[in-house]
Amino acid sequence: MTRCDTRHSVLILRFRARLLGHSSLSRGLMHVFIRILMLAAALMPLAVSAQMLNDQPPPQHRIVYKSTFALRYNPLGLLLDSRFSYRYRLYESDSKALRDNFLGLGLAPTVSPAFLRVGPYVEFNPLTLFGVWATMQYVQYFGSFDLLQGFPGAQSDFSDSAIKRNTANRFSAHGWELTLGATLQAKVSRLLVRSQARLVRGDLNLRPGDRIYYDQLYDVGAPNRGWFFTHDLDVLYQGLENKLIAGARYTATTPFYDRARHFDPGDLNTEVSNASHRVGPFVGYTFKTEDGARFNTPTVFLLVQWWLHHRFRTGEDTSAALPLLGIGFQTTGDFLPVK
């Protein structure tokens, strides 16, 4: 072996050692990034967009909205999630893979009987199949419906039964939540593939001694002033003149706890896992699609997902045979003429 080869081998070993020395958060984010790159590479020639115009490229200026009303069981939830956004087209293209490009700025309100979230929303789509976005929302919990509840640490019991038992401990709270998102979406023939990833950081005024809180929207013991990751992967078939979609959705959620800040020092169990995985069928039906319509793509949907892994939903608190059930209605639209 030459001296150059020896130096090269030493550099590789040092690089591997540094990678292995990273924190679990860094390794987790690296794995997510690699998966996103692999999926992007596989889907690069294909494209589909939920608000892409069917018969023409988008105009230079566009004001759009998307609203979703959903009811969910296991966990229980009811919410209205909306996005209102001004979009500026970055460049012209007749290619469906490129033409739905824009830089957007808007407002993101989310309302449920237990909380309100509202704040600015920015989005950047360099091409149709890929986009990134971010929102910084003010969060207000009303102290209703057994929420908000904080807990001493990641080891705490935040199951449905525990939350119901601890109704005397619920309290109103406020703070901020930062969400960073990335979306990959593609279509080949009648097959649709969509990947939606989010990194979320909450900062709430919890009670003294509380290090995590139960986030009902994502069903996770969220680290206060810390991050968690959630990812939805849809593989769907489109039929009936593009009105029906049917397939499966896989959802994974992982909180990233700091041992010094998010674990209860009075509990010696530091190996607890609050990550979750679920998968199941998704079916939706869109009644009409009309380019530029104010009330467009009215869609009803049904989601059924069985829990593959969850600390409390695979037998400890609720039966693993009981899936997450969700029904909802979604609509989109344009506020400006598109022709």
pLDDT tens, position by position, 102-158: 999 999 999 999 999 999 999 999 999 999 999 999 999 999 999 999 999 999 999
**How far apart are alpha carbons 192 and 234 in whole angstroms?**
8
Q: Would you state the pLDDT for residue 9?
A: 42
Q: Would you state the pLDDT for residue 338?
A: 87
Q: Would you state the pLDDT for residue 32?
A: 45
204 HSE (CA, 13 A, CB side): 30
Residue 172 and residue 149 in contact, taking contact as beta carbons nearer than 8 Å: no
Q: Would you state the pLDDT for residue 262?
A: 96
pLDDT in tens, 208-240: 999 999 999 999 999 999 999 999 999 999 998
Whether 20 shows a pLDDT value over 50: the answer reads no
pLDDT in tens, 253-304: 999 999 999 999 999 888 899 999 999 999 999 999 999 999 999 999 999 9
Whether 25 shows a pLDDT value over 90: the answer reads no
**How far apart are alpha carbons 136 and 143 in whole angstroms?**
22
Residues 6+ apart with CB under 8 A from 33: none
- Would you state the structure tokens that stand for residue 73, as one six-digit string? 């069981």
Q: Would you state the pLDDT for residue 147?
A: 93
How is the chain split into domains, by residue range? 44-334
Going 314 to 200 to 123 to 176, the CA torsion angle's sign is positive
Residue 292 and residue 262 in contact, taking contact as beta carbons nearer than 8 Å: no
Q: Would you state the pLDDT for residue 38?
A: 39
Q: Would you state the pLDDT for residue 173?
A: 96
Q: Would you state the pLDDT for residue 231?
A: 98
Q: Would you state the pLDDT for residue 15?
A: 36
Which pLDDT band, with edges at 50, 70 and 90, does 94 fall under? Answer: confident
Average pLDDT estimate for 71-80: 96
- Would you state the structure tokens that stand for residue 299, as one six-digit string? 């869609």
Q: Would you state the pLDDT for residue 96?
A: 85
Q: Would you state the pLDDT for residue 312?
A: 97
**How far apart are alpha carbons 337 and 192 in whole angstroms?**
28
**How far apart are alpha carbons 320 and 115 in whole angstroms?**
28
Whether 93 shows a pLDDT value over 80: the answer reads yes
* Domain range 44-334, CATH architecture: Beta Barrel (2.40)
What average pLDDT is seen over the chain?
87
Q: Would you state the pLDDT for residue 97?
A: 87
Nearest to 139 by CA among 119, 123, 158: 119
Residue 148 vs residue 37, higher pLDDT? 148
**How far apart are alpha carbons 123 and 4 in whole angstroms?**
47
Nearest to 156 by CA among 307, 35, 265, 54: 265
